[in-house]
Amino acid sequence: MNTFTTNIEYETLHLFMFGLPVSDRSHLNTKLKGEQEYKKRLEKQHSKNELELQLDIVKNNIIILEKRKNNLNINENYKQELEELNDLKYRVSIVSSRISELSLREQLLIETETELKSDMSEINLPELREIYKTAKKNISNIQTTFEQLVEYHNKMILEKIRFITQDIPKIRSSIEEHKRTLGDFLDKEKRLSIKISASDTFQDLENIISDLTKSYQRIGELESGIEQLNSVEKNIKSLSEEIEVLDGDRFSEEFQERLKSKLKGFNGIFADVSNELYGEQYGLSFTIKEDKKTKQNYYHFESFNANTSSGKKQGEIICFDIAYILFARKQDLPFLNFILNDKKELMHGNQLKKVSKYANDKKIQLVFSILKDKLPSEINNNEHIVLRLSDQDKLFKIERSK
């Protein structure tokens, strides 16, 4: 988990931890977020209602211009060529808008891919494996599923990337095809415009032709904008319906009662552990919130003692980790029998000794890094320390070239 982890992913993780696994809808929410962002960009200049009303005005103007044109004395060939030119300009506008739409969609998919790639877990597994081997000398039943969890997490991210980017080749192919079509239309438009301009016409007719051309171009732009909005609204509706199906009874009163029952069991252990270690009783609660971008509901979990001082916050975290291992043992849930953490120099030395003894009594291994001067003398010995580092003895043995 990191700063890029979404609320929906945290929800799925917490529900799984408390024995209530649900369908993962994070990939659908990522796609829904992209569609909503796409719709927001499309509506940045004009809303759908405004486009439809503008289209009605332009169509009425064309009717008036056509009536005026029909009253002019022009030959039959000229009329046919003029209509062909207007049709070409309309097609040019449609194809150009379609290229812009596809390019924007490709850009959004690439941005989403970049964001997901930054979410990949990068853990020094060989180093952690060496720590395991050393730690086994004291405890023989250390779980070895941490690598599998990291691999599963990365595979989940890769699957999301594959799911999100699977349309990119097809979009790029469509863009190239539309560009070729646009080139053909522009060549024909150029030849026909030169031919019509060379015709012997009245100035009034030229003015009407100019107005009609602009009107047809405007119709193409407006209809293309409306079609884009209709398409993205359809996609948003379809994704929302898929998410609703996956949600099932996730937010029903019955499910909330089951979750509350699980948390009551966990909080009993959480309160006992925190009371033993800190003289305070911590607990975990939940609320149902709405994601600001996707407007989808999700479960938000937080402790009763949120936003405490930094040292207390570290204590709250260690109490939660210990309590969850004890809870998972009792509930027969999958868990790791050790705690990997940092920032323990923020804890008082006496508190660190107390936590270490409590974890050892519960047959839980604590693995963390700490500055030597912050380590209490009682546990500053080889029985508790598996690796010591210094300026002369660095972890990766990387030396700066002279």
Residue 172: predicted pLDDT: 86
Q: With pLDDT > 70 as the criterion, what percentage of the chain qualifies?
A: 80
The predicted model gives 192-199 an average pLDDT of 72
CA distance 81 to 84: 5
Stretch 156-162: mean pLDDT? 78
Q: What is the pTM of this model?
A: 0.47
pLDDT at 143 over 70: no
Closest CA to 2 of 312, 137, 13, 243: 13
Residue with more model confidence, 54 or 135: 54
**Cα end-to-end span (Å), the chain:** 39
The residue ranking higher by pLDDT, 254 or 387, is: 254
Residue 187 scores a pLDDT above 80: yes
pLDDT band at residue 182 using 50, 70 and 90 as cut-offs: confident
What confidence tier does 376 reach under pLDDT thresholds 50, 70, 90? Answer: confident
- Look at residue 62 in the predicted model and tell me its pLDDT: 92
Ramachandran bin of 260, using left for φ above 0, alpha for ψ from -120 to 50, beta for the remaining angles: alpha
249 pLDDT band, cuts 50/70/90, is: confident
Higher pLDDT, 176 or 373: 176
Q: What are the two backbone dihedrals, phi and then psi, of residue 340, each rounded to the nearest 5 degrees?
A: -105, 120
User: Which tens digit of pLDDT belongs to each residue from 344-358?
Assistant: 555 666 777 788 888
**CA 305, CA 178: separation in Å to the nearest integer?**
58
pLDDT of 79-119, one tens digit each?
787 888 888 888 889 989 988 888 988 888 888 878 777 76
What are the beta bridge partners of residue 300? 287
Residue 339: which of 353, 360, 309, 354 has the closest Cα? 360
Determine the average pLDDT of the residues in 382-388: 74
The burial class, CB within 10 Å (0-12 / 13-18 / 19+), for 144 is: exposed
Under the banding of pLDDT at 50, 70 and 90, the label for residue 311 is very low
pLDDT at position 3, please?
Answer: 57
Please report the pLDDT score of residue 145 as a whole number: 47
